[in-house]
């Protein structure tokens, strides 16, 4: 190749290299900026709204796709030496000298005029500085990229409004693992369809607790709903027992309460349409013998037997334990964070195993049994001092009161316990130790647990 040709090729190849490097960097940086923008928007949204999938995997995918798209676009945008020569001719006013020379170089036999053209082009190629056409190898977008990445990292570390503390997150995952294991250990071949379905649901919930970034409220709600479904089936098993033998007025009353509770719970359980219908007929027929027979027959068809009840008890116990664990850890975390975000009333209600406002049939039965007993007269029974530790900020410190292992009834009468707690709450409210936004919750709580026959507005007079 002639010297002129070498000059032309070297100049245009150098320009093409610089332009292609610039092009790839530009395409990649623009694509990455788009990706960072989308990721930043997603992270910002996640600070206010829970996103039900793992955020970091989404962000990583977005950035990965952006990078790949940028590389592909950069490769596709590469120019050849000829195209670089055309661009140089256009931008530097070489009047197509370089591009014509590039084409001539491809010819095997060149005329004398063509050789002259090469020489002429070489003179211009010597004066070609790639920086005149491509001043920057690193586009501006590439320089902005680190700043954008820093912004993204900053957004990531901003606490979210509904942030789940790390220890609560761990507790939820641990509970999820235990629940999933417990549900997996249940032999579903021995169970009725409904209970087997519930076991599968329990396993699914256990998995979701581990996999999805749920808040503690969502986790507790899922577990509460699961517990309620288990109680429903458990109740159905017990109703089957209650329906056996003579129907006494007391039994009828208890049965009525159980059936009323069951009617509400059955709304959310699948595959119970026939049973719900029989239940409604039994209630409408005022628990007539025929209606109860039909109900019993419906229960028999569902085949919820002893093994089902046992399995339900085991699963319920595991779920209840899980709720207690989450509640304990979250309360401890909330105390440490000194935050008013702990929704004590709801969590306490959920931890207790009940959906807000609802009590389980078991509790109702126990309450009913307690109510039927007479309290020991003053002086008899066992008096004990009940002290309630209170923190500096006026909050009651959760305290375990060990029961007397040999007795079957509480050491301290319920009414006394209630009164002392009520007085402490009244004192705390009047001394503005409880934030105003939570006073209504505290009031509702004490209203819900007050003994029958006593009513008092916190801060008001006792009325009996």
Closer CB to another protein, 31 or 360, in the complex: 31
CB-facing half-sphere around the CA of 96: CA atoms within 13 A = 3
Q: Compute the distance between CA of residue 298 and CA of residue 412 in angstroms, rounded to an integer.
A: 43
| Residue 430, token pair as written in the block | 């009047």
String of contacts with another protein for each residue 77-116, x by CB under 8 A = x-x---xx-xx-xxx---xxx-xxxxxx------xxxxxx
Taking each helix axis from N to C end, the angle separating 166-185 and 193-211, rounded to the nearest 10 degrees, works out to 150
Q: Taking CB under 8 A as the rule, does residue 228 contact another protein? A: no
| Cα torsion 178, 179, 184, 185: sign | positive
Nearest to another protein of 81, 209 (CB atom):
81
How far, in Å, CA of 251 to CA of 243, rounded? 9
Nearer to another protein, 87 or 279 (CB): 87
Which of 37, 62, 71, 119 touches another protein by CB under 8 A?
119
Give the nearest distance from C-beta 141 to another protein in angstroms: 11
How many residues are present in the chain?
464
The CA distance from 457 to 446, in Å, is: 9
State in angstroms the smallest separation of the CB of 113 from another protein.
4
When the beta carbons of 136 and 170 are compared against another protein, the nearer one is 136
Which CA distances in Å does 369 have to 253, 364, 373, 411? 12, 8, 7, 17
Residues 6+ positions from 161 with CB-CB distance below 8 Å? 47, 48
- Residue 89 or 234 with smaller CB distance to another protein: 89
Q: Which of residues 100 and 318 has its CB atom nearest to another protein in the complex?
A: 100
Question: What is the C-alpha to C-alpha distance for residues 326 and 395, in angstroms, rounded to an integer?
Answer: 20
How far CA 124 is from CA of 46, 120, 268, 305, 464, in Å, comes to: 58, 7, 84, 97, 109
Nearest to 51 by CA among 60, 42, 62: 42
- Shortest distance in whole angstroms from residue 131 CB to another protein: 9
Residue 409 near another protein by CB under 8 A: no
Q: Which of the ranges 132-140, 144-152, 338-346, 360-368 carries the binding residues for another protein, by CB under 8 A?
A: 132-140
Q: How far is the CB of 208 from another protein (least distance, A)?
A: 50
At 456 the three-state DSSP class reads strand
- 334 interacts with another protein by CB under 8 A: no
Q: Residue 6 Cβ, how far from another protein at the closest point, in Å?
A: 17
Residue selected from 8, 9, 11, 19 as contacting another protein according to rule CB under 8 A = 19
CB of 121 to another protein, least distance (A): 8
Q: Which is nearer to another protein, 119 or 345 (by Cβ)? A: 119
In sequence order, which residues have a C-beta less than 8 Å from that of residue 104 and are 6 or more positions away?
A: 110, 114, 117, 118
Q: Of these, 120, 325, 363, 415, which contacts another protein (CB under 8 A)?
A: 120
**Helix count (H) and strand count (E) of the chain?**
18, 2
CA distances (Å), origin 421, targets 7, 174, 222, 229, 462: 96, 33, 30, 32, 14
Residue 144 contacts another protein per CB under 8 A: no
What are residue 68's phi and psi, to 5 degrees?
-65, -45
User: Site for another protein (CB under 8 A): how many residues?
Assistant: 34
Shortest Å, Cβ 65 to another protein: 24
Mark the segment that binds another protein (CB under 8 A) among 133-141, 167-175, 201-209, 410-418. 133-141
Q: Is 463 helix (H, G, I), strand (E, B) or coil?
A: strand
Interface stretch with another protein, choices 118-126, 172-180, 372-380, 397-405 (CB under 8 A): 118-126
Instruction: Give yes or no for residue 117 binding another protein (CB under 8 A).
Output: yes
Given the complex with another protein, which of 86 and 428 has the nearer CB atom? Answer: 86
- Determine, following the binding rule CB under 8 A, whether residue 14 of this chain makes contact with another protein: no
In the complex, minimum distance from the CB of residue 73 to another protein, in angstroms, rounded to a whole number: 12
Asked if residue 432 binds another protein (CB under 8 A), the reply is no
Which residues partner with 433 through β-bridges? Answer: none
Residue 3 Cβ vs another protein, minimum distance, rounded to whole Å: 13
Q: How many CB atoms lie within 10 A of CB 24?
A: 18
Q: Which C-beta is closer to another protein: that of 120 or that of 363?
A: 120
Q: How far apart are CA 445 and CA 453, in angstroms?
A: 17
Nearest residue (CB) to another protein, 38 versus 79: 79
Q: Kindly tell me which of 114 and 433 has the beta carbon lying closer to another protein.
A: 114
Are 100 and 118 spatial neighbours (Cβ–Cβ below 8 Å)? no
Could you list the residues that contact another protein (CB under 8 A)? 19, 22-23, 77, 79, 83-84, 86-87, 89-91, 95-97, 99-104, 111-117, 119-121, 133-135
């Amino acid at each position: 190749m002639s010297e002129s040709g070498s000059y032309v090729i070297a100049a245009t190849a150098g320009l093409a290299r610089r332009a292609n490097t610039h092009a790839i960097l530009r395409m990649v940086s623009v694509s990455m900026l788009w990706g960072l923008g989308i990721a930043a928007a997603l992270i910002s949204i996640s600070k206010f709204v829970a996103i039900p999938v793992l955020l970091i995997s989404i962000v990583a995918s977005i950035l990965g796709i952006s990078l790949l798209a940028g590389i592909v676009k950069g490769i596709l945008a590469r120019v050849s030496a000829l195209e670089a020569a055309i661009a140089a001719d256009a931008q530097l006013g070489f009047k197509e000298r370089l591009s014509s020379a590039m084409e001539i170089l491809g010819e095997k036999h060149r005329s004398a005029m063509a050789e002259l053209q090469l020489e002429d082009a070489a003179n211009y190629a010597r004066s070609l500085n790639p920086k005149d056409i491509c001043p920057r190898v690193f586009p501006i977008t590439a320089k902005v990229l680190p700043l954008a990445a820093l912004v993204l990292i900053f957004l990531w570390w901003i606490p979210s409004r509904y942030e789940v503390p790390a220890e609560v997150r761990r507790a939820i995952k641990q509970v999820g693992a235990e629940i999933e294991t417990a549900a997996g250990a249940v032999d579903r071949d021995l169970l009725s369809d409904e209970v087997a379905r519930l076991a599968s649901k329990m396993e699914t919930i256990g998995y979701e607790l581990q996999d999805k970034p749920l808040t503690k409220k969502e986790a507790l709600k899922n577990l509460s709903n699961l517990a309620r479904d288990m109680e429903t089936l458990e109740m159905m098993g017990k109703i089957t027992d209650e329906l056996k033998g003579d129907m006494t007025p007391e039994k009828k009353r208890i049965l009525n309460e159980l059936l009323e509770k069951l009617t509400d719970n059955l709304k959310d359980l699948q595959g119970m349409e026939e049973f719900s219908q029989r239940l409604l007929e039994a209630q409408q027929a005022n628990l007539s013998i025929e209606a109860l027979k039909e109900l019993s027959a419906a229960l028999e068809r569902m085949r919820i037997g002893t093994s089902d009840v046992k399995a339900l008890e085991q699963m319920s116990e595991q779920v209840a334990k899980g709720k207690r664990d989450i509640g304990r850890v979250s309360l401890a975390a909330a105390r440490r964070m000194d935050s008013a975000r702990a929704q004590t009333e709801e969590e306490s209600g959920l931890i207790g195993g009940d959906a807000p406002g609802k009590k389980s049939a078991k509790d109702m039965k126990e309450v009913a049994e307690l109510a039927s007993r007479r309290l020991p007269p003053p002086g008899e029974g066992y008096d004990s001092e009940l002290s309630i530790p209170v923190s500096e900020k006026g909050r009651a410190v959760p305290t375990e009161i060990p029961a007397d292992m040999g007795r079957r009834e509480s050491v301290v009468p319920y009414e006394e316990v209630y009164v002392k707690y009520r007085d402490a709450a009244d004192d705390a409210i009047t001394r503005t130790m409880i934030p105003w936004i939570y006073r209504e919750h505290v009031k509702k709580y004490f209203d819900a647990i007050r003994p029958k026959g006593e009513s008092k507005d916190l801060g008001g007079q006792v009325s009996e």
